[in-house]
Structure 1
Amino acid sequence: MRQPKVFLTGVSGYVGGHLFVRLVQKHPEWNYSVLVRTEKQAVDILAKYPDIEVVIGDLDNKDILVKAASTADIVLQLASADHLSGAVSLVEGLSQGQPAPGKLIHISGTGMVLDVSKGFGIVSDRTWNDVDDIEEITSLPLEGHVHRDVDEAVLEAGERLHVPVAIISPCTIHGLGQGPLKSMGFSVGEYIEKVIDRGRGFQVAEAQNQWHQIHIDDCADAFILLAEEAAKPDEGKAQWGRKGYYFAESSPYDLKDIAETVAQVLYKLGKISSQRVDKLSQEDVSAIHPIGHFVWGGNSKARGDRLRALGWKPTRPDILATLPEVVKFVVKLKEEKSTIM
């Protein structure tokens, strides 16, 4: 039986890189090609994975994307949740596949349901559900909902070009990644770095706001599951198109717990002068990072029952358990003057 050809973008990043490693471990028999931006990235990846095909380019290179996707059975697009033309180019390429179009699995993010309606640092009432609320989720206004414009463009292109598409929307991803080039994501890593730079812990107002969380390995499992379903001749048990929208999460967490844990670990490491966590206004936090008041002071509560219905189950430690290791990793990178993000 012919093995599927899989084209991945984002392998130089945190989630895409970790997924690539896990996918190759689980399915070494599959055929892989990956998109990288530079010759150096290509050399680094080929040194570890000499049997894969490397395509040099980025999401702005339409011709490269269309050509690579046209020969793929499955495209895993993890380079960006916000690059509209790149995502649509991949759908266009998949539509040219023979004897049938390939399938796209595209990454988004639960930031699209960000809620600060009660104020920053205050918990919101609503938890979105990707089964019960699917029609509303896939028809939210494009303005004011991050990622929605790209999600809609992907869904529309899939319908127009008869390409099966699925969107996986993770929440806060935590834990150290094992990708070839990057080990950490924005939300957690950037916060730790800002606390170190500031010399004291901080939170937005009372920090009662909540996000949902997912361990990087559980997140990779979600993408692998859909890829395995996509590899089946009948598209498997997965749903595609406007029903193929999947929140990837394990459970909620309070931002206050993150702030306190980070401060405690950094204090024990001698990197800040106190375990105290300062309560800052949204304006103060936005001065620390332009979107910090949204990421660290907003709510993003999204329950993923659609993946669970396929048999996916999160089993790894929660974010409070992985934080100490991540904090130590950030400290090490800063001491080495390495790039954190």
Structure 2
Amino acid sequence: MSPRIFITGVTGYIGGHQLGPLLTAHPEYKVAALVRNEAQAKAVKAAYPAVETVLGDLDNDQVLRSEAGKADVVLNLASADHIAGAVSLIKGIAGSQKNTKLIHISGTGILGDTSTGAGNKSEKVYRDMSSTDIGEILSFDLTHIHRDVEEAVIAAAKENGVTAAIISPPMIHGVGAGPVKKRSIQVPILIENILKRGKGFQVLEGNNIWNSVHIDDLASAITLLTEEALKGTESKAAWLPEGYYFTESNEFRWGDISEAVAKIAHDKGLIATADVEKLSPEEATAIHPWGTILWGTNSRGSAERLRALGWKTSGKSIADSLPAMVAFEAAAEEGQRQELTFADK
């Protein structure tokens, strides 16, 4: 019997993009996708006719439990910040008495580090095969974004005897290929505001470091973990509490991104100068409520677990993606821009 995969978030950036690579690699999979309304269902079916759409959202406990109970793998890609939805999925799996596995999306914003000051480089790099490093992450206080949901996922999975993993991507780049949302968070919001201001900006010295991953490479990582989830006892994957996976391919300095965006936008005649201003954390926050978190922190992790399973990245860097991302933002019609939050990837 063909495996059944239940996916949340297919109208978002990550989940929507995931459909293509997953179905290309495994056309035999039966995929069911959560959508909020008929309009979204129509958009998903137009792009992927074989996908079964299920009406509901992350607050529909009964729908989530029912669909999770039917699935062989549940990909919770809709939100890194919705506790109730994640717990409903886990309880649905537990109630089915199947060996269903959950893969839950988080994000390395949880690592956000300004211990050396906003805009300054931190040397701390977290390794996902280090029990010490993962123990530290799983002991963060609740001021770290996503921490409350990760805590709830781990506790609910343990309490209900459900096998689960957390996948934690860094800054994701590339224009998505999903049926609805095609835009990530950090760099698109940076581009949007550079175009609005007519000038580039960075947080203070802009020396802070993040990891990045292309959306295609994140999709291949999720596909790999899905395959591992279906291998049963032959799988070499780790599951919680050890099953915490970073996905990264390159590191970058945020000041370099601001400079590159300003140059691309200036060369295209979208802004009058390629200059980049140094902003204080307060000024960055005035531009966007998460300004300092998005562009002024460090977040550095090493994806050792996935690479041990054979994951290879394409080599696509943020520099490769920026021209298309700038063009996408420039072409967005006023009033139709997709406003994303950490809870809607």
Query: What TM-score results when the alignment is normalised by the length of structure 2?
Result: 0.95
The residue aligned with 1:203 is: 202
How far does the alpha carbon of each residue in 1:183-232 deviate from its partner, in whole angstroms, 9 at most, with x for none?
A: 11011111100111111110000000010000101100100000001111
- Structure 1 residues 235-261: Cα deviation after superposition (integer angstroms, max 9, x where no partner): 611111111000111121000110000
Q: Spell out the pairing of 1:1-341 with structure 2 (5 A cutoff).
A: 2-98=1-97, 100-132=98-130, 133-234=132-233, 236-334=235-333, 338-341=336-339
1:296-317 deviation per Cα after TM superposition (whole angstroms, max 9, x unaligned):
0111111111111111011231
Unmatched tracts of structure 1, length 5 or more? none
Superposed CA RMSD in Å reads 1.3
| 2:194 alignment partner, SS class | helix
**How far off is 1:142 after superposition?**
3.4
Question: Matched residues in 1 for 2:137 and 2:203: separation?
Answer: 30
Task: State the SS of the aligned residue for 1:256.
Answer: helix
- Rate the CA distance shift 1:340–1:270 in 2: closer, same or farther, 3 A: farther
Structure 1 position 337, deviation (Å): 5.2
Give the Å deviation of 1:48.
2.4
Deviation at 1:137, TM superposition (A): 4.0
Q: Separation in 2 of the partners of 1:275 and 1:82?
A: 36
**What is the match of residue 343 of structure 2?**
none
CA contact (8 A) 2:127 2:134 kept: no
Q: Output the CA distance in 2 between the equivalents of 1:121 and 1:135.
A: 25
The structure-2 alpha-carbon separation of the partners of 1:177 and 1:316, relative to structure 1 and needing over 3 Å to count, comes to: farther
Q: Distance in 1 between matches of 2:138 and 2:43?
A: 41
- Whole-Å Cα distance in 1 between the matches of residues 335 and 268 of structure 2? 18
Q: Are the counterparts in 2 of residues 101 and 162 from structure 1 also a CA contact under 8 Å? A: no
Structure 1 residues 137 and 169, CA, compared in 2 at 3 Å: closer, same or farther? farther
Per the alignment, in what secondary structure is the counterpart of residue 32 of structure 1? strand
8 Å Cα contact 2:249/2:315 also seen in 1:
no
Q: Offset of 1:338 from its aligned partner? A: 3.0
The aligned amino acid for 1:171 is: P
Letter in 2 for 1:304: A
What one-letter code is carried by the residue in structure 2 that aligns with 1:172? M
1:313 maps to a residue whose letter is: K
Q: How far off its partner does 1:49 sit?
A: 2.1
Native 8 Å contact 1:103 1:165 kept in 2: yes
Q: Following the alignment from structure 1 to structure 2, what is the Cα–Cα distance between the partners of residues 168 and 82?
A: 14
Deviation at 1:144, TM superposition (A): 1.7
Q: Secondary structure at the match of 2:241?
A: helix
Deviation at 1:12, TM superposition (A): 0.3
The separation in 2 between residues aligned to 1:138 and 1:260, in whole angstroms, is: 32
SS in 2 for 1:211: strand
Number of equivalenced pairs:
338
> Unmatched 5+ residue regions in structure 2?
340-345
1:134·1:243 contact (CA, 8 Å) conserved in 2?
no
Deviation at 1:158, TM superposition (A): 1.1
Following the alignment from structure 1 to structure 2, what is the Cα–Cα distance between the partners of residues 28 and 244? 27
Distance 1:103 1:138 in 2: 22
CA offsets, 1:114-165, max 9 Å, x none?
1001111001120111111454245323322111111111111111111100
* Distance in 1 of aligned mates of 2:50 and 2:165: 28
* Aligned-residue identity in percent: 46
**Whole-angstrom distance in 1 between the partners of 2:102 and 2:200:** 41
Q: Is the 8 A contact 1:138 1:242 kept in 2?
A: no
CA distance in 2, matches of 1:150, 1:142: 12
| Superposed CA offset, 1:21-79 (max 9, x none) | 21111111111100011110001111222222111111011111001101111000000
